[in-house]
Chains A and B, each alone.
Chain A
Amino acid sequence: MFEARLVQSVILKKVLEAIKDLLTEATFECSDCGIQLQAMDNAHVSLVSLNLRSDGFDKYRCDRNLSMGMSVPCMSKILRCASSEDTVTLRAWDNPDTIVFVFESPNRDKISEYEMKLINLDQEHLGIPETLYSCVVKMPSQEFARICRDLSQFGDAMTIACSKEGIKFSAAGDYGTANVKLAQTAETENQEEAVVVEMKEPVKLTFSCRYLNSFVKATPLCAQVQLSMSAEVPLVCEYQIGEIGHIRYYLAPKIDDEEEN
């Protein structure tokens, strides 16, 4: 039997908001350690990796490892039925074909149960190599969201260049060009507002704005976002999910066409 209880259902709601733009179906791997999800978007350009540790849950029980294929839009609908204050409990039997979402109001006078059919999904688990990134930038997630939104108006692609001074976002298109530079902030400042660049060597990569705009849907989860980049490897865009876990987005860079040919 599998049972996971989370007092703050709002976290789960936000997680679903953060992945529903990219994914339509996803397999939730439930184990003793917690719930993990890894899925690519349909175009196989980005990858979402979600990790919710078992100790982050208020109550967690997983007798057997389960792989539950779920429709993300359906799950999102169900989670929308929960109030922010509700407590959510996920419950499934061994070898399940359904999963039950139980929402309890804070004073327990309202209990809602939603049962969702599971779907069979092909397992497409990718091994993500451990990488030491050339640049790791921590910055306010809202700032990042804002930059992505602004620059996507100028071009389909955004170039992120990272140097000692800071991080530069630029986009070029038919209307013109846009450049946003963020300098490293002093350490004394508020940590949530800090821009911290840990750099081994400068990096300049180009990414599709469309995917970045999907990633920043995770902004409500965390005040800070961490961008990890190395030349010619995917960008990692990581948001912490409270004390429970994290969600990581991997985005393949755009490369010059000539090089490819």
Chain B
Amino acid sequence: MVLDSLDAYIEILSGYIYDDDKLVTYKWLSKELEIHVNITKQVLWEFWQRYRKEKDLEATFMLIGYLEDGEMRIEVVKESHLEGAKEKFTKLISEHLYSLQKTLPDLELLAMVDDGDCQYSAIKCKEAVIRSDDELLKLRWGTQWQKVKQIDSDNKDKKQVAGKIESKAAEKTNIFDKKGPAGKKSLKTQKGAFNNFFNKVDHQQVSVNSTSPKVTEKTEEKKDGVNNVGNNKTSKLAKSPPTESKNEISNAFNSFFGKTTGVSSKESDSEYAKNAVTGMEVDSSPKKESPSMKKDSSMTDSMIENNKNITNSKKPTKTNKSTSKSRGKKRQRSGGTHSAENKRKRITVISDSSEDEEESQEEEKFEEDIVPEEVPSPAKTTAPSPPLVKREQGKRKIRKILDKTFEDEDGYLVTKKVSEYVSCSDEEKEVTEIEKPKTVVHPKNSKNTKQTSIMTFFKKS
């Protein structure tokens, strides 16, 4: 890096941190300065090195590595918890500054920082796309949405666009919003709501902190961060890596999901993570019937209880039995905390596909067996947000949901909705179409008339 540009960046960064009181994450900074994320990491590091002693400066770190059980973990921790957090890793793949700020009372506040720009991202592949609100919702609130989607797609196939259902969906959404404190809306649109959510649920954490490498990105990266908040709030709360509870949970999940998902129950500990994750993913499979949902919530409740008992947590027990709470918890588990959201969102598609295949496979079976019942909560079929648009090699690309058909390993033809960036030629035209000024002899003339020449009337003699 050129030194003076570094100085310039650092000056700008200083302005962001000390003048604007911003929480500067490397992603956000890369967007602001329009530089690659790796450079912003260096800038942040340089800044931190220079000013950590002199000024109020709080840093958070991102740690990526493997745990003892071989699971991958991504974590954002405060500086003060850095060493402790590092000990958990057997192998640390990456450690870098995540953000710099004057003060950071809550780690979750980082979730409110604006997204980065994938243009400057270090991750370059076509799967690395930021998920739409819809997709996130689906992932987070699997069953209901999935069902709805299924029905909807059925209807679509029959060319019967169910306006009724859609309207119902809207209503239902509202109801859900009322029900769940966290709401059904996405992180992005409801940051405030999400904050509430965290305030409420941080006492009933279930420490689901690891995943199988395959689905790494899906799990919450910031469980520890959440715990830290817990620590801050209830100062006595010990760090709780509740492996026992894990087992409990995983068993619980295994027993629950084992039947329905058809995922063969493997040995618990390494497997639990998978299940913990599938807990949320399987959720999204249409298999789930409403009774199972009930089960689910009751299960989660019981899990919470277990967790409490086992970890001897000193957290004040709040009323957390309501379905809304358990939903919140589930959501937290699946949705994770927000600062990691970008990353997770980008990568999930890969792991998703396999899951989706399973799902769709199961869907088919499911459809054979069960006539799809009246859906309680049809979802909106259209994305609430405008289609994502990005520029790639000068071409405008738009994110679209496309139907793709492929053969899965069992030889079934599976049609799946895949969101892809498609170059949109139509809109491209719109952009490139530049209005050429009409060649009018007298452009001032408002009446669009043309001055004729006297020569057209009188010929040379």
Chain A partners chain B: yes
Question: Cβ of B1 < 8 Å from any Cβ of A?
Answer: no
Interface string of B433-461 (1 = CB under 8 A from A): 00000001010111111111111111111
Q: How large is the interface on B (under 10, 10 to 19, 20 to 34, 35 or more residues)?
A: 20 to 34
Alpha-carbon distance between A47 and B126 when the two chains are bound, in angstroms? 70
Q: A156-B445, A206-B447, A255-B449 are in contact. Are A44 and B454 (CB under 8 A)?
A: yes
> Is the pair B456, A252 in contact by a Cβ cutoff of 8 Å?
yes
Q: A155-B446, A172-B447, A206-B447 are in contact. Are A252 and B452 (CB under 8 A)?
A: yes
Q: A126-B458, A233-B457 are in contact. Are A252 and B451 (CB under 8 A)?
A: yes
> Is the pair B453, A45 in contact by a Cβ cutoff of 8 Å?
yes
Contacts of A126 in B (CB 8 A): 454-455, 458-461
Contacts of B461 in A (CB 8 A): 125-127
Q: A252-B453, A255-B450 are in contact. Are A47 and B458 (CB under 8 A)?
A: yes
Contacts of A45 in B (CB 8 A): 451-454
Alpha-carbon distance between A190 and B450 when the two chains are bound, in angstroms? 39
Question: Cβ of A174 < 8 Å from any Cβ of B?
Answer: yes
> Is the pair B448, A256 in contact by a Cβ cutoff of 8 Å?
yes
CB distance from A43 to the nearest CB of B (A): 8
> Is the pair A156, B450 in contact by a Cβ cutoff of 8 Å?
no
Interface string of B360-392 (1 = CB under 8 A from A): 000000000000000000000000000000000
> Is the pair A125, B454 in contact by a Cβ cutoff of 8 Å?
no
CB < 8 Å neighbour of A173 from B446, B452, B455, B458 = B446
Contacts of A251 in B (CB 8 A): 454
Question: Cβ of A124 < 8 Å from any Cβ of B?
Answer: yes
Contacts of B459 in A (CB 8 A): 126-127
Across the two chains, which residue of chain A brings its CB closest to B457? A234
Contact residues of A between 192 and 219, Cβ < 8 Å to B: 206, 208
Alpha-carbon distance between A45 and B457 when the two chains are bound, in angstroms? 10
> Is the pair B448, A172 in contact by a Cβ cutoff of 8 Å?
no
Across the two chains, which residue of chain A brings its CB closest to B453? A44
Alpha-carbon distance between A256 and B449 when the two chains are bound, in angstroms? 4
CB distance from A83 to the nearest CB of B (A): 36
CB distance from A81 to the nearest CB of B (A): 33
> Is the pair B457, A157 in contact by a Cβ cutoff of 8 Å?
no
CB distance from A128 to the nearest CB of B (A): 5
CB < 8 Å neighbour of A174 from B446, B451, B455, B457 = B446
Q: A156-B442, A157-B445 are in contact. Are A260 and B450 (CB under 8 A)?
A: yes
> Is the pair B458, A254 in contact by a Cβ cutoff of 8 Å?
no
CB distance from A55 to the nearest CB of B (A): 25
Interface string of A21-64 (1 = CB under 8 A from B): 00000000000000000001001111100000000000000000
> Is the pair B451, A254 in contact by a Cβ cutoff of 8 Å?
yes
Contact residues of A between 211 and 258, Cβ < 8 Å to B: 233-234, 250-258
Interface residues of A (CB under 8 A from B): 40, 43-47, 124-129, 155-157, 172-174, 206, 208, 233-234, 250-258, 260
**CB-based closest 4 A-B pairs:** A127-B461, A126-B458, A254-B449, A252-B452
Interface residues of B (CB under 8 A from A): 440, 442, 444-461
12 pairs of residues in contact across A and B, judged by CB atoms under 8 Å: A40-B455, A127-B460, A129-B458, A156-B444, A156-B445, A157-B449, A206-B447, A206-B449, A252-B457, A254-B445, A254-B449, A256-B447
Given contacts A126-B459, A254-B450, 16 further A-B contacts (CB under 8 A): A44-B454, A45-B451, A45-B452, A46-B454, A126-B460, A155-B447, A156-B442, A156-B446, A174-B446, A206-B449, A234-B457, A250-B454, A251-B454, A254-B449, A257-B440, A260-B450
